[in-house]
A and B are shown apart, each in its own frame.
Chain A
């Protein structure tokens, strides 16, 4: 990788005025849709694994209560960036960050931040369905129980609401006591979404949530994402461009850790500003 490519690939970042109003996405769209103080915004945010830079000086504002898709070829840092938003990268020992990643105006990576309350507000759904080897009920009730809800009636209400929210209630209402690993892959993934919703987060991060699922289950998850839009800020990482086009309102294209283009999905897919974006979405590389 030569530095010249990198420089070319960094057109939209306002290096000259970091303190100025945040670089808004290409189109005025998000500003209208998003409320005054956006939940998640990155300011020259970089992530390094030891010496290697996985994410390079990204600045972007993730619009509230919209679906934002992050696309890009494998290894472009999109998952790493997503996992930084609820500090799941803490699990990786040599990983550190520079720049700022803000949640509600606070730097996520500052030592003052309480990771637990951050993660309570920023839920996450993983690539592979990962329900606990417990009952369906216990899976969904895990989060609320963590935050001290012991009353069984309250818990039952939360479980029912979350499962209904995740469009799973009708399928599992008769087997709440059964082990969650007995569900099908698609059901397990929706259970994981229900589990994340049970703690009532503001932001829901999805790391390639359908890559391990068959097309039918994928369609159900996509429908679900469409239903959840408007209530939650959803950030979804996918390497399936059709999926990004189908489910998201905004799309960010990452390449080699650099944010190449960020804008309304419709515009980005039909009329990309950047040559690299165009090459990628038309399948010329990646």
Chain B
């Protein structure tokens, strides 16, 4: 049984006197113990809303959350707020995008770390301070006792994110949700932070739900990947299969759009044309159809179902929501490249390709 099983999660925002807008329209995915699952998509596809809904952090007013999210047999979405508060930090924890604004500017780091320890582990005084220092040490912050007395603005961006990770793992949660944890950081720091996350996940067996738009991060970190488009999972596959053989035209387009260093000068980039449009509902057909190069009339007859990729040699567990999946191996990314991510997380996915002579 998976650790977290999200089933048909649907989030609708209903403003007073305004048309309801659906941010997440039926997302399902599983996260197993100790597994790293990626949730990938462009801005506005519902990644962050999904994570906030799982944590119960969406505002109560004007938001409707439907579906189920089974965590060890309890449905997170129907849990009472007080029970949810007890789960947060101990069972589920979250790391946010911007490490500066996620720390309270007027409270020293130490207080912010010990506050979690006293809340969930009942630690007080010197014991809590020692534990906080040990936590900071563990996430690679040098001179932790001094850092505990400092304020967020005195720490560098990478260190702030480390401190936030320390707070998140303070009570050894079973599931860590990371909402674009490296977006606000330099590339070199990104690599360090991803390395740290990977290390923690490996050591503790914590499951990680990685929300990102950075395919490089996915390549280096995730076991399974779910590609989101307009609030629905359009493709769900093992990392290797997704990068080698993206079946949904959107995933295919995304991977194809990554510029290559060895491309001849002057060769145009291949963007996915158009932009995401929330006016197009899935009920009328595939929401990606207007941007798709392969669409047929069949695409507009109701929403396609997420189903296993058909055809000979299709790997098990590779699911796609498309009536005309792309059946072509991507030449830009090789398995060796993706596999190389095992030791260097931030390595770009499109490096020089080995198969081309």
A and B bind:
no
